[in-house]
Amino acid sequence: MFEKFSRSWALVKASAGVLRAQKTLLVFPALSAICTIIVTASFFLPMAFTGELQQASRTHVSPGGAVLMFLFYLVQYFVIIFFNTALIGAVTIHLRGGTPTAADGFRIAMSKLPTIFGYAVISATVGMVLRALQDRAGFIGQWVISLIGMGWSLATFLVVPVLVNSDVGPFDAVKRSAELLKRTWGESLIGNAGIGVVFGLLIFGLILAAAGLITLAAVSHSVILIGVVIVLCVIAALMLALVQAALQGIYAAAVYRYAEEGVVGGGFDNALVATAFKQK
């Protein structure tokens, strides 16, 4: 297990190397975050004023509230999948020796709009069903449903790379992602979890640093200094989140390319990847 983690960590560092070489990739998670905030506000602010938001938080949701929640899930997933497709499309160009621009990523995403929409419908449906079951389940049931949701997330880890590189529909993309997961499950899980753990630790360290700096600023009784510290910490947290999202996309693209083509490129050591992806 330690050897597998070491290999996966090396692949994560290679992903960071890709991001250093192609800083433009940060554009995609940044725009994704902005758009998801806009989508959330556009749905939940009207729902809050009309009372639908309070109704949606209850176990029994009105038909109108259910439709609104599904539409929210659909639009939110569409936005996230669209920008992930653009990100992984640009990463794929880099891995194949090209120099991608943001326009290249968006061009690839635009060419996949019907499939992206289809996958968003699937994701929204699964999300709504899992939420409905969780709202009605007891403690053990909620735990089981959470595991099912985790399993779905893992099974669809490579869906977007499949969509970028293959002319298939959303259902076939989910099926292909699950098949590839069986072959690369160790690296897919440990590498992605490794990114989460590292950035979780960084966020924790940032929180501790922020608490210390705010305390020092409070001692000075300077409202301006306290405000500056808070703003800087928020910006640092947002940057960490953007880098994490970009690395996860790069990692997924690298996992997919080697699983399908036997090579990665773009600064990845093929010998390292070859030992990481053994047929299971």
Question: pLDDT digit of tens for each residue in the chain (280 aa)?
Answer: 555 566 666 767 778 888 888 889 999 999 999 999 999 888 777 666 655 555 555 555 666 667 888 889 999 999 999 999 999 999 999 988 888 999 999 999 999 999 999 999 999 999 888 887 776 766 676 777 877 877 888 788 889 999 999 889 999 999 998 888 776 655 555 555 666 777 777 888 888 888 888 787 777 777 777 788 788 888 888 888 888 889 888 888 888 887 777 676 766 766 665 555 554 4
Question: What's the pLDDT score for residue 7?
Answer: 61
Question: What's the pLDDT score for residue 8?
Answer: 60
d(CA 30, CA 47): 26
Question: What's the pLDDT score for residue 219?
Answer: 79
Question: How many residues can be counted in the chain?
Answer: 280
Domain that holds residue 215: 2-276
Question: What's the pLDDT score for residue 212?
Answer: 84
Name, in order, each residue with C-beta under 8 angstroms of 91's C-beta and a sequence gap of 6 or more: 18, 22, 25, 100, 249, 250, 253, 254, 266
Question: What's the pLDDT score for residue 187?
Answer: 53
Question: What's the pLDDT score for residue 106?
Answer: 96
CB neighbours of residue 84 within 10 Å: 24
Question: What's the pLDDT score for residue 180?
Answer: 81
Question: For the chain, what is the domain count?
Answer: 1
Question: What's the pLDDT score for residue 185?
Answer: 57
Name, in order, each residue with C-beta under 8 angstroms of 84's C-beta and a sequence gap of 6 or more: 28, 32, 160, 249
Question: What's the pLDDT score for residue 279?
Answer: 47
Name, in order, each residue with C-beta under 8 angstroms of 71's C-beta and a sequence gap of 6 or more: 43
Name, in order, each residue with C-beta under 8 angstroms of 9's C-beta and a sequence gap of 6 or more: 191, 194
Question: What's the pLDDT score for residue 193?
Answer: 62
Assigned token pair, 141: 């049931």
Question: What's the pLDDT score for residue 189?
Answer: 58
